[in-house]
């Protein structure tokens, strides 16, 4: 039985220039706060990283929100959790003296929560990477995102997503004014080297490296 858990944040200090953009990392279902640190270390080795543990305990790990028994998104639960998470991240950034808006990276369950954060507090972030996302809300009017760079990465061999899921999320973000790059990678649901290479290319192309 899943239950709310106390906030836990993994903090990796910057190596060198504290003015470099920090990263916020949101793990997938059944994951832990350290799961995405190897990926972030490869794409931005010297940046600070903030990685919160999901607030829902589940078998084998944690998630950032509840799913219904049929695996659809529990939108009410997601809405209940998105604002406290935004406040937690804002406080963590301030506590560590990081005054640049971070790059938000979410995978799977974390990518859905990341999209929800963008829908409610886009001003908190400078850019975002969504790996294997779903659009979090069926009917949502997003705030203007002022050409925020966002990368959406699907996977051709992903058995947990349909071919249209990432494309639909990319369209929603584009309509909100974000500068969206959407790609389908030759991999499965899990994070792979293809994701690393795609993120590095996107960072370079958008002046975020």
163-190 pLDDT, tens digit per residue, is: 889 999 999 999 999 999 999 999 999 9
CATH number, domain 9-205 = 3.40.50.1820
Q: Could you tell me if 81 and 65 are in contact, meaning their C-beta atoms sit under 8 angstroms apart?
A: yes
Whole-model pTM: value is 0.95
What is the residue whose two structure tokens read 């994951």? Answer: 31
13-40 pLDDT, tens digit per residue, is: 998 766 689 999 999 999 999 999 999 9
Q: Could you tell me if 159 and 134 are in contact, meaning their C-beta atoms sit under 8 angstroms apart?
A: no
Of 74-83, 116-125, 135-144, 183-192, the range with the lowest mean pLDDT is 135-144
Percent of the chain with pLDDT over 90: 77
Strands (E), the chain: 9-12, 23-26, 49-52, 56-58, 61-63, 103-107, 127-131, 149-155, 179-185
Instruction: Give the count of beta carbons closer than 10 Å to the beta carbon of residue 66.
Output: 17
Q: Could you tell me if 119 and 151 are in contact, meaning their C-beta atoms sit under 8 angstroms apart?
A: no
């Amino acid at each position: 039985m899943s239950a709310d858990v106390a906030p836990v944040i993994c903090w990796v200090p910057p190596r060198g220039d504290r003015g470099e953009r920090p990263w916020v990392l949101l793990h997938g279902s059944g994951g832990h706060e350290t799961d995405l640190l190897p990926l972030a270390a490869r794409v931005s080795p010297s940046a600070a990283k903030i990685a919160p543990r999901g607030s829902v305990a589940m078998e084998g790990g944690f998630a950032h929100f509840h799913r219904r028994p049929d695996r659809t998104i529990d939108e009410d639960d997601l809405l209940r959790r998105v604002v406290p998470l935004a406040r937690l991240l804002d406080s963590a950034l301030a506590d560590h003296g990081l005054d640049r808006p971070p790059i938000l990276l979410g995978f799977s369950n974390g990518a859905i929560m990341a999209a929800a954060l963008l829908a409610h507090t886009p001003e908190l972030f400078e850019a975002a990477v969504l790996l294997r996302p779903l659009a979090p809300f069926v009917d949502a009017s997003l705030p203007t995102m002022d050409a925020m760079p966002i990368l959406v990465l699907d996977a051709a061999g992903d058995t947990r997503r349909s071919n249209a899921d990432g494309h639909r999320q990319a369209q929603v973000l584009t309509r909100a004014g974000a500068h969206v790059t959407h790609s389908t990678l030759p991999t499965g649901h899990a994070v792979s080297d293809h994701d690393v290479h795609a993120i590095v290319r996107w960072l370079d192309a958008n002046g975020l490296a």
